[in-house]
Amino acid sequence: MKRLTSLFVMLLVSASAFAYTTNKIVIPDIEGYKTLKGDFHIHTIFSDGKVWPETRVSEAVWEGLDILSITDHIDTRSRKWIKSGIISSDCDSDTPYKLARKAAARQDLILISGGELSRNRPSGHTNLLFTKSNEKIVIEAEKFNDDNAKATEAGFKEARKQGAFIMWNHPHWVKYSPNETVIGPVQKKFLEEGYFDAIEVYNAECGYSPEAHDWCLKYNLAIMGCSDAHDLMFNKIDYMGGGHRVVTLVFAKERNVASVREAMNEKRTAVYADEMVFGREQELKPLFDACIQVKNVKWSKKGVSCTLENVSSIPVRITKAPGSEGYRYTRYIIIPPFSTIRFSAQPLSNTGGSASLDSSVRKVVANIFVENFHIGANKPLKTAIKFVR
């Protein structure tokens, strides 16, 4: 009885912490689009995960996500587990989505159907999103179990019939890229034949791939980042310390499935992970403008000053960029989440000393690099803080 009472108390405390401690990812909308946060690669007990599908929904809602796709492995291992009794014979590759669907609808989470086609080398792993029947994909792939490349392509063909969106997963995973991250012959064939719509450039298990980031730019593919979680998110992330899961940012016209798909088709995506943002310049520049708001501008003979307010969960790191040598301003700034700092730009004389700001000057441009917003491999976003009177 004492053990039961202790267990009850522990569960009650855990439930209370879950209910009252939140760490939602907050990222503002950009001009013309809603900024939706999603995880498009995650597992449950229906493949090699440890978590029930409905729990995945609760985790996503708690963290402030808008979109979730449960992508259990839809390969032969699930069938083996069904035969061995680990998974009920009433289940199939579409069961996780069916179980999570009602919970997602109740909690206003956009749930995307999907699965991970997981073949050994040389094919690797790919996520198939917006599928209609994972079972049909598995059946087609299993016709070529002795040839991983043919099995993967057969799965792709069936997925395409269903209108699926195909993401090449973690090309930098050490199991498949032990020495360097390269495009192998099979992946090159899939690229040339137009099968890939996106690449997972950031995977929480193996980090960021600058090579994959540049491939997305070269081949015009969506830039994606995912948790690939198998365990409970609370066991993986230090939420109390301010941690967040890896998320894909989708810049959608509306908050619904059709708009999410349209945005992904048009490559309007980016990745937020480990206090970094990875994407394209056309999305990251307006995202920076939305995150950092310029307020309380004041002009004087000494120069111009303002308050920079960060309205996002992203700590923003700024350094001075070329093109504004005529002004003195702080060369390195960190603006923590939901905080403000004072920023000023003062004119310099020809000798490098202080000068007065002429009243005829109507515009001051402070060029900056946003060091944690990368628009390519090791390439920070260059933008400006502009003052106009």
pLDDT at 9: 40
Q: What is the mean pLDDT of each run of 10 residues along the chain (389 residues)?
A: 42 42 86 98 91 96 97 75 65 91 95 91 88 94 90 96 97 84 92 96 96 97 97 93 95 98 98 98 98 97 97 98 96 97 95 89 96 97 96
Model confidence pLDDT, tens digit, residues 303-349: 999 999 999 999 999 999 999 999 999 999 999 999 999 999 999 99
Amino acid identity of 319? T
| DSSP symbol at 29 | P
10 Å Cβ neighbour count for 257? 15
pLDDT at 344: 97
Model confidence pLDDT, tens digit, residues 52-89: 999 999 999 999 999 999 999 987 666 566 666 666 66
pLDDT at 82: 63
pLDDT at 317: 98
pLDDT at 7: 39
3-state secondary structure the chain: CHHHHHHHHHHHHHHHHHHHCCCCCCCCCECCEEEEEEECCECCCCCCCCCCHHHHHHHHHHCCCCEECCCCECCHHHHHHHHHCCCCCCCCCCHHHHHHHHHHHHCCCEECCEEEEEECCCCEEEEEECCCCHHHHHHHHHHHCCCHHHHHHHHHHHHHHCCCEEEECCCCCCCCCCCCCCCCHHHHHHHHCCCCCEEEEEECCCEECHHHHHHHHHHCCEEEEECCECCCHHHHCCHHHCCCCCEEEEEECCCCHHHHHHHHHCCCEEEEECCEEECCHHHHHHHHHHHEEEEEEEEECCEEEEEEEECCCCCEEEEECCCCCCEECCCEEEECCCCEEEEEEEEECCCCCECCCCCCCCEEEEEEEEEEEEEECCEEEEEEEEEEC
| DSSP symbol at 305 | E
Is residue 114 a contact partner of residue 69, using CB atoms and an 8 Å limit? yes
Verify cis geometry, omega within 30 degrees of 0, for the bond prior to 380: no
- The residue among 200, 167, 209, 227 whose CA lies nearest residue 376 is 209
Structure tokens at 154: 């057969």
365 three-class SS:
strand
Is residue 122 a contact partner of residue 116, using CB atoms and an 8 Å limit? no
Domains of the chain: 22-279 (3.20.20.140), 286-388 (2.60.40.3090)
219: phi > 0 → left, psi -120 to 50 → alpha, else beta; which?
Answer: alpha
Model confidence pLDDT, tens digit, residues 129-147: 999 999 999 999 989 988 9
159 three-class SS:
helix
pLDDT at 113: 98
